[in-house]
Amino acid sequence: MKAFVLDRYGKKERLRAADVPEPDLRDDEVLIQVHATAVNLLDAKIRNGEFKLILPYRTPFVLGHDVAGVVARVGPRVHQFKVGDEVYARPDDLRIGTFAEFVAVKEDSVAMKPRNLTMEEAASIPLVGLTAWQALVEKAKLKKGQKVFIQAGSGGVGTFAIQLAKHLGATVATTTSSRNVALVKRLGADVVIDYKNEAFEDHLSGYDVVLNSQDGKTLAKSLGVLKPGGTLVSISGPPDPRFAEDIQAPWWVKQVMGVLSSGARKQARRLDVAYAFLFMKASGSQLRQITPLIESGAIRPVIDQVFPFESTNDALAYVESGRAKGKVVIKVR
């Protein structure tokens, strides 16, 4: 099969177009013929080597964390899916590889594709949808009537998270550039701050939840907009000791993560708020909860651009540029 392979870690490394064997299919997996995939900043960060501590991929390997396609084969222990089913998924860590014509995914991580979406639209959903769900529903337990600050509202996670938060009945504040104000308002944002001309910390206070996706300086300011008892969930780090326990990391990794997150955790304790790091997990059951929200129109995909498969490197570079509004998708088939 054709795939885009990472041969070496590094910021300047390009993915190599190659013919590689189809992935081995385990007993509890489905083999998906990839019709579309999407590019995430996570792909660039893994290529750069930023996650080698917690995701020790051995090169060469195939990148890619989103897939929409058709089931081509099923393992003997698979019962929910059959050949020909149209599905979407975020493959599990250490089993990624959607920048390819086929990918093997655990049955528990797969869901039937929303009926009202094209393959390209469906491929834009899994990683950002699961990230927003796990941050707002699982960790923050966002409730009707609460206030949430979602950073970078025009990005992939932001465009989904705004819609999910509004569906949950929250008041939503976000940051974006002036050219994207209309977009985030259309998605449901109640308070929009042009980050190039305004400081969000001067405008926001008494918030119940913050979804942090930016750097350490922004995280420190964001803790200050929470009311006592509020929660900040960070998807951009730093990882904390609880996350190290969740992934059953060695003791020395727990120590490293404790040091990396000590400043944020100390500030949170001082302000009487909670700090939590989220590294999203694959989940077919959560995708099945997201699907009806999409089919009802409560949440709709936001796609900036669709690239052809042969332009995978261009798609990755475009995501890294930070200019994308919503998701960047690759049409594979």
Give residue 204's pLDDT. 98
8 A C-beta contact, residue 234 and residue 276: yes
> CA-CA distance, 85 to 90, in Å (whole number)?
16
Give yes or no for residue 209 having a pLDDT over 90: yes
- Residue 102 buriedness (CB in 10 A; 0-12 / 13-18 / 19+): buried
Strands of 29-109 (E only): list them: 29-39, 61-62, 67-74, 86-89, 102-106
Of the pLDDT bands very low, low, confident and very high (cuts 50, 70, 90), residue 89 is very high
Calculate mean pLDDT across residues 28-35. 98
Q: Kindly report, as residue ranges, where domains of CATH 3.40.50.720 are found in the chain.
A: 128-277
Q: Is the CB of residue 39 less than 8 Å from the CB of residue 315?
A: yes
pLDDT given at position 227: 98
Output b/e per residue, 70-92; b: 16+ Cβ within 10 A.
bbbebbeebeebeeebbbbbbbb
pLDDT at residue number 250:
87
Q: Is 113 helix (H, G, I), strand (E, B) or coil?
A: coil
Q: Are strands 274-277 and 191-194 parallel, antiparallel or unpaired?
A: unpaired
pLDDT band at 308 (very low <50, low <70, confident <90, very high): very high
- On the question of a cis peptide bond just before residue 23, with omega within 30 degrees of 0, the verdict is no
State the average pLDDT for the chain.
Answer: 96
DSSP letter for each residue of 165-200: HHHTT-EEEEEE-GGGHHHHHHHT-SEEEETTT--G
Res 236: pLDDT = 94
Q: Where in the chain is CATH 3.90.180.10?
A: 2-124+301-331
pLDDT digits over 234-286, tens only? Answer: 999 899 888 888 888 888 888 989 999 999 999 999 999 999 999 999 999 99
In this prediction, residue 248 carries a pLDDT of: 84
Closest among 234, 275, 327, 333 to 43, alpha carbons compared: 327
Fold that domain 2-124+301-331 belongs to in CATH: Quinone Oxidoreductase; Chain A, domain 1 (3.90.180)
Cβ-contact 219, 212 below 8 angstroms: yes
What pTM was computed for the model? Answer: 0.97
128-277: what CATH class?
alpha beta
Rounded percentage of the chain residues whose pLDDT exceeds 90: 92
Tokens of 302: 């936001």
State residue 241's pLDDT score.
87
- Mean per-residue pLDDT, 162-179: 97
Percent of the chain at pLDDT above 70? 100
Residues constituting the chain:
333
